[in-house]
Amino acid sequence: MDSWTRRDVLRAGGVAAVAGAGLLGGAAAADTGPFAYGVASGDPLPDGVLLWTRVTPSAGAAPGSGAGPDVRVGWEVALDDGFRTLLATGTVPTGAARDHTVKVDARGLAPATWYWYRFRLGGSVSPVGRTRTAPAAGSAVDRLRLGVVSCANLQAGYFAAYGHLAAREDLDAVLHLGDYLYEYAPGEYQARDVVVRPHDPPAELTTLEHYRRRHAQYKADPDLRALHARLPFITTWDDHESANDAWSGGAENHTEPAEGSWTARRAAAQRAYAEWMPVRYEPGTRLYRRFGFGALAELSMLDLRTYRSRQAAHPLDPAIGDPARTITGAEQLRWLRDGLVTTQAQWKLVGNPVMIAPVRFPSTLSTRQLRALSRLTGPVEGVPYNVDQWDGYTADRAELFGALREYGVRDTVFLTGDIHSAWAAELPGDPLTYPLNRNSVGTELVCTSVTSDNLDDILRVPPRTASPAVEAAVRANNPHVKYLDFDSHGYSVLEVSPARVQMDWFQLAERTDPASGARHAVSFAVRAGTQRVVRVREPLR
């Protein structure tokens, strides 16, 4: 999500900023050998996990080149990092047709177990990766801990946040909520006016070659490679994996015919994503999917770009409440609603690429309520500030919240990225009466950006100067919002236990420093059965 447009704002500083940076930004990884882009795992199930790598079998087989020989890559899974107890082995073919990426769905594993894995090509051996399977279905689980991240723009800084997560010993997996990479050309979107690391290729992504090369550049980052090798990822895309403010028929950051057809561009983006990400997704299948963690939690991962209607033209657009418009698509909304209503898991977690909590000025009144009230009192100022979120598709949100209320669903927590800021909010079942009875149907915890510009960056002011007043205005006009921070970059850690869900937010000292430190900023919890967020003093131990 970017509320500003690339044509007028993102090129501020532009090519001159790239030249001034004096930095190299190719896709070449730091390591040598055929496994230069590391190893990764993802989509953990009780009996298996998806394993990934990319091989470079010859000098001419660079990412996106479409060249290089077909090869067979060996893989091994063991109970120890010395591979003394091998549990599964095999070989898998790859070649230029899939950009020499490798995906192995390793099955027949035990639940809730750590495993180590590696790949072989000829006499070369990959780095060793570590991964973990999910708990058995219906089993008692005392604790689940996830790293939570979103919005990592390589041009805007270094991925120290990933490095801090990789150094932790207490995580079971990483939840990446979208904007894993950015499609912009060098100089189009960076850290204020400075391009810290120019994008490769030096162009806006529109072709399959482009998207493959950009994935390779991001995978070459040492902190991201370390985190991938350390923990399984559960991912979804937002818009920048294809183009800014993407919807089913186009994107803000796409111009036809100059940039070709949107259908071809999106297909290229989704194909590269399928090749380069450790995810059980292939073109032509659906990305939204569900993961179980015993009886403790079920996680529904959403795709809010592929099926959505075009965004409303502006916050006063009557289309916002049109029931014919959708952010999820009818099938995905039914899948989500039915899953939340019928699951036997205690906690219903939703991996949600864009915010679902209403954020309006001056109040939480819905568009329909504002219009009705306006007929009685005259014009009332109360509009959503971001129609790219669920606020721009209120019929879908009303249907989902109505089901949660009607069926008495408890312990639903939306885990969200996209907005480059940290939030803790309750979800009003009835915005009009919420201030009186706190009729929350769920909660939402939003992680901030790894590097992408926050409010202070956009305003070009020091942190915590302009933002506190804006934050106070948002909270005053939206009483269900209990916390927000518009300025910090970093990562979050989420713990799920039978008693509560808690998120800790961590702030980087400086996103443009590859060795940046991080500090604990704040923690909020949702106690079981309450549907409310409360601040807690201590971070997770």
- pLDDT level of residue 433 (50, 70, 90 thresholds): confident
Neighbouring residues of 393: CB distance < 8 A, sequence distance ≥ 6: 308, 309, 320, 325, 326, 327
CB-based burial of residue 536 (10 Å sphere; 0-12 exposed, 13-18 middle, 19+ buried)? middle
Of residues 381 and 226, more confidence is placed in: 226
The pLDDT of residue 370: 57
Lowest mean pLDDT among 261-275, 289-303, 374-388, 488-502: 374-388
Lowest mean pLDDT among 16-20, 29-33, 410-414, 436-440: 16-20
The pLDDT of residue 16: 28
**Average pLDDT of the residues in 82-97:** 97
Bond prior to 257 in cis (omega within 30° of 0): yes
Q: Give the pLDDT confidence of 91-110 residue by residue, as tens digits.
A: 999 999 999 999 999 999 99
The pLDDT of residue 284: 94
Q: Give the pLDDT confidence of 340-355 residue by residue, as tens digits.
A: 999 999 999 999 999 9
CA gap 195, 230 in Å, rounded:
29
**What are the tokens at 164?**
């801090």
Q: Using the predicted structure, report yes or no on whether residue 236 has a pLDDT greater than 80.
A: yes
Q: Give the pLDDT confidence of 277-296 residue by residue, as tens digits.
A: 999 999 999 999 999 999 99
The pLDDT of residue 448: 98
Bond prior to 201 in cis (omega within 30° of 0): yes
The pLDDT of residue 62: 97
pTM for this one?
0.92
CA gap 415, 351 in Å, rounded:
5
- pLDDT level of residue 4 (50, 70, 90 thresholds): very low
- Pairing between strand 347-352 and 412-416? parallel
Q: Using the predicted structure, report yes or no on whether residue 195 has a pLDDT greater than 70.
A: yes
Neighbouring residues of 290: CB distance < 8 A, sequence distance ≥ 6: 298, 299, 300, 301, 339
Lowest mean pLDDT among 13-17, 376-380, 474-478, 497-501: 13-17
The pLDDT of residue 382: 65
Q: Using the predicted structure, report yes or no on whether residue 254 has a pLDDT greater than 90.
A: yes
Q: Using the predicted structure, report yes or no on whether residue 217 has a pLDDT greater than 70.
A: yes
> Would you mind telling me the total number of residues written for the chain in this entry?
541
- Average pLDDT of the chain to the nearest whole number: 91
- pLDDT level of residue 13 (50, 70, 90 thresholds): very low
CA distances for 405 relative to 367, 402, 428, 531, angstroms: 20, 5, 10, 11
Of residues 432 and 287, more confidence is placed in: 287
The pLDDT of residue 365: 62
- Pairing between strand 71-78 and 86-94? antiparallel
Q: Using the predicted structure, report yes or no on whether residue 130 has a pLDDT greater than 50.
A: yes
CA gap 417, 428 in Å, rounded:
20
The pLDDT of residue 95: 98
- pLDDT level of residue 436 (50, 70, 90 thresholds): confident
Percentage of the chain beyond pLDDT 70 is 90
Alpha-carbon dihedral sign for residues 474, 480, 484, 486: negative
The pLDDT of residue 378: 52
CA gap 537, 528 in Å, rounded:
18
**Average pLDDT of the residues in 421-435:** 91
Secondary structure class of 152 (helix, strand, coil): coil
The pLDDT of residue 497: 98
CA gap 433, 182 in Å, rounded:
40
- pLDDT level of residue 2 (50, 70, 90 thresholds): very low
The pLDDT of residue 432: 77
Q: Give the pLDDT confidence of 353-401 residue by residue, as tens digits.
A: 999 999 988 766 666 665 655 555 454 456 888 999 999 999 999 999 9
CA gap 314, 178 in Å, rounded:
24
Q: Using the predicted structure, report yes or no on whether residue 407 has a pLDDT greater than 60.
A: yes
SS (H, E, C) 107-125: CCCCCCCEEEEEEEECCEE
